[in-house]
Structure 1
Amino acid sequence: MATTRTAASGTTRRILIGVGGGIAAYKVCSVIRHFTEAGHDVRVVPTEAALRFVGAATFEALTGNPVSTDVFDDVDQVAHVRLGQGADLVIVAPATADLMARAAAGRADDLLTASLLTVRCPVLFVPAMHTEMWEHPATQANVTTLRTHGSTVMVPASGRLTGTDSGRGRLPDPQEIAMIGELLLERPDALPHDLAGVRVVISAGGTREPLDPVRFLGNHSSGKQGFALARAAAQRGAIVTVVAGSTADPGDPAGVGIVRVSDAQHLAEEMTKRAAEADVVIMAAAVADFRPVAFAESKIKKSDTGPAPIELTTNPDILRGLVTDREAGRIPPETVIVGFAAETGDETGGVLDHGRAKLRRKGCDLLVVNAVGDGKAFGTEDNTGWLLSATGTETALPLGSKTLMSSRILDEVRALVPGSDDVA
């Protein structure tokens, strides 16, 4: 699991985790552990079917709280009302087709569904079922209803399902569920389903410029910010493709297509090709400015006279190239282009000064400016910076998780995308 953090306020939050009756129920134990280790008060409310997969003793041991499924348990405490009323976040995982149908219909036939009717906090449903069940019109109608009621319904992952089946409907990785849950604790309105059908292409990670068969020139980029943008965009309904270089992110975001590249030239080719059919292009990758002129076919050996000089040449400016393609009509004129600038201050100006100058040079619509160095930005869980626009506005991005920063960036992107109405 990723490094845990207590809620932004520094106070203990009350997390209600509803567990549905699916084989993926065992994975939810990792989500429970994430929130308990972060110092939160976690209560688990399983369905009767869930207890056939994971016993109540497991949930009680992980949380230190009792487990119940029946509205007639703890009647004097009015548990079916108090649990929901007192929650700061509700996560329902795995959200089976049956459980989502009952929740969408407003049923209250067990402790979990009754509690869902009393909550006024963010509710996160995490579907897990076979592909045919997920794609069935009835399930999709229930998903739409839940979103209309204000709940967030995660996009399921693709992969191995029960038995020999594979496809869309797999429970997302527990770490990703926890990330989305933490985001909703930080910012309850972070994931409106307002990018449905919007085609988003994001570059992420660093590039590796080969020197010889075992060495390369690279940088410290982990790809975490690019993947966080992809994760948030997918959960807001976008059709997301990530062109990923060297990354340290532990897992691919659910519902996101991944294209792997290595060096800057390969990244430029993929981004140029995919941008032609995108509504939004976000260049979050840390692209090496230079590459070796020559590639040594065999490992460069040590020498008593010291290393031979390495001649470098300049890599293509991918962001500026995308803007040029848009100006020339090779990319639709309404395509929104977002850049990132990792900057340090020097004798000529501060981080923000260099960011403003870069925005003018690149010609993109938005530019995210990060201060780097001394443990900032690269490889960290948190990020901060500024969002500059071509119209002259400058918005501070306060320190927070990279997923939180992504949600704020996407708010500004959404405002620039033409014709993308709010749809569930």
Structure 2
Amino acid sequence: MLNGKTIVLGVTGGIAAYKAASLCSKLVQRGADVHVIMTSSAKQFITELTLQSLSKNPVYSDTFDERDPEVVSHIRLADVADLVLIAPATANMIAKMAHGLADDMLSTTLLATMAPVMVAPAMNVHMYGHPAVVHNMRTLEARGVMMIEPGEGLLACGYVGKGRLEEPETIVEVVERYFANQQTVPRLLAGKKVIVTAGGTIERIDPVRYITNDSSGKMGFAIAEVAKEMGAEVHLVHAHTDVAPPAGINTIAVQSADDMYKAVLSLWEDSDLVVKAAAVADYRPASPAASKMKKSGETMKLELVKTVDILEQLGKAKTSQFLIGFAAETNDVERYAKEKLQRKNCDLLVANDVTVEGAGFRSDTNIVQVFDKHGLVEQMPVLTKHEVAKRLLTIASARMQGVLS
């Protein structure tokens, strides 16, 4: 899968830098052309000669050490890369990336590249959880940088917790999976504008309490990711989720049903396909308290009013848009799905029984049935949510082109 791929491997100065030798070797064994850039701190842990011997390419660490007068080294590396992989990535390098600093060969190359960037953090458990580091990683994720989460275990500092560089074998698998996804998904949605909603909306009771649901956002995120792989311009509107949104996608973070409706409307007019995978609250507190409500008495009455029905409003407003709705049910799935499809004027309705193992909230898999106005289109077995997304968007693409699928 990595044959012909050029990977720029950035190695930064943490004890986990020793794993870069194994990672470099495994990438080369899989067919990648690996070019290593080291920070000065990384050279305190592992030598240039080691990585040069394993990569079969010169190793760079000094921005001003220009070896070929015909090119600027960091620009050439930035241009030829199919992927820039930073492993290990220290808190310092992550901060530089988040703030656009360029004071060494690696950070300068990162600013110059248009290639996808993948980061494998490695640091002390408390550093990894520090608000500044968390903020910087979220900033990078919002820009499309892909994160490989560190593992948990005994760290070099003596602490036990999250922060250990993921094993080289796993990092290579992630890299291969990334390129596999790029190659295997047909660009069925090239030139299309797609809106995807994901996650569970939050309806505030007071500043510290709210009504929500069990949606993890994983299904919506998978759809957004696959739509991007299929060539679409994707806009992801997400509420509360268990996981970070996929890299490289335009995202709008919202809380309430009303927030989500306004965000979708701002993108609606020139959209081609809208997939409403979010679990939107049906009701909200009539009068959210401005300050924390105190306990008083054995019971409390909470008055709820209906939220805006986003799917129904879009169904009424659509002209040329192709609209896909979702229905999470616990019984009579087909009957409720058909009723919802007709009532909300959807083109397709994806339904699942969330009580069935492998199909519920927070799962990495799903078991769905896809309906149109004529009835069942496809019943899918247990599949990863990524595979469900592929099948669903393939059906949608065919329908949008006037071909039944």
Pairs within 5 Å for 1:210-359: 210-249=204-243, 251-303=244-296, 305-326=297-318, 333-345=319-331, 350-359=332-341
SS of 1:49's equivalent?
Answer: strand
Tell me the amino acid that sits aligned with residue 352 of structure 1: E
Q: What's 1:410 paired with?
A: 393
With structure 1 as the length reference, what TM-score do the two structures score?
0.60
SS of 2:235's equivalent?
Answer: strand
Tell me the amino acid that sits aligned with residue 343 of structure 2: R
Q: What's 1:191 paired with?
A: 185
Q: Residue 308 of structure 1: CA displacement?
A: 2.1
Q: What's 1:20 paired with?
A: 7
Q: Which string of whole-angstrom CA distances, capped at 9 and with x for unpartnered residues, describes residues 336-370 of structure 1? A: 1111110111xxxx222221221121110111111
Q: Which string of whole-angstrom CA distances, capped at 9 and with x for unpartnered residues, describes residues 11-38 of structure 1? A: xxx9989662342799xx99x99xx9xx
Tell me the amino acid that sits aligned with residue 303 of structure 2: E
Tell me the amino acid that sits aligned with residue 230 of structure 2: R
SS of 1:243's equivalent?
Answer: strand
For 2:283 and 2:277, the matched residues in 1 are separated by: 18
Distance 1:379 1:277, change over 3 A: same
SS of 2:305's equivalent?
Answer: strand
Q: Which string of whole-angstrom CA distances, capped at 9 and with x for unpartnered residues, describes residues 25-69 of structure 1? A: 99xx99x99xx9xxxx995455363386899x99xxxxxxxx965
Distance 1:129 1:356, change over 3 A: farther
Tell me the amino acid that sits aligned with residue 390 of structure 1: K
Distance 1:24 1:337, change over 3 A: farther
SS of 1:20's equivalent?
Answer: strand
Q: Of residues 375, 393, 396 in structure 2, which corresponds to 1:392?
A: 375
SS of 2:380's equivalent?
Answer: strand
Tell me the amino acid that sits aligned with residue 321 of structure 1: Q
Q: Of residues 148, 172, 183 in structure 1, which corresponds to 2:146?
A: 172
Contact 1:234 1:240 in 2 (8 A): yes
Pairs within 5 Å for 1:117-196: 130=110, 133-134=113-114, 172-174=146-148, 182=177, 190-196=184-190
Contact 2:144 2:247 in 1 (8 A): no
Q: Residue 316 of structure 1: CA displacement?
A: 1.6
Contact 2:369 2:376 in 1 (8 A): no
Name the count of aligned residue pairs.
302
2:384 corresponds to 1:401: yes
For 2:279 and 2:224, the matched residues in 1 are separated by: 16
Aligned sequence identity (%): 28
Distance 1:406 1:183, change over 3 A: farther
For 1:169 and 1:216, the matched residues in 2 are separated by: 29
Pairs within 5 Å for 1:26-105: 43-45=29-31, 47=33, 49-50=35-36, 97-98=79-80
SS of 2:382's equivalent?
Answer: strand
Contact 2:5 2:82 in 1 (8 A): no
For 1:15 and 1:400, the matched residues in 2 are separated by: 26
For 2:391 and 2:9, the matched residues in 1 are separated by: 34
Distance 1:191 1:46, change over 3 A: closer
Distance 1:390 1:50, change over 3 A: farther
Tell me the amino acid that sits aligned with residue 311 of structure 1: E
For 2:292 and 2:216, the matched residues in 1 are separated by: 26
Which is bigger in relative contact order (C-alpha 8 A, separation at least 6)? Answer: 1
Q: Residue 282 of structure 1: CA displacement?
A: 0.8
Q: What's 2:157 paired with?
A: none
How well do the aligned residues superpose, as a CA RMSD in angstroms? Answer: 4.3
Distance 1:363 1:168, change over 3 A: closer
Unaligned runs of 5+ in 2: 47-52, 57-76, 84-107, 120-139, 150-170
Unaligned runs of 5+ in 1: 1-13, 59-66, 71-94, 102-127, 135-153, 159-165, 327-332, 420-424
SS of 1:398's equivalent?
Answer: coil
For 1:133 and 1:188, the matched residues in 2 are separated by: 19
Contact 2:203 2:284 in 1 (8 A): yes
Q: Residue 399 of structure 1: CA displacement?
A: 1.3
For 2:142 and 2:196, the matched residues in 1 are separated by: 22
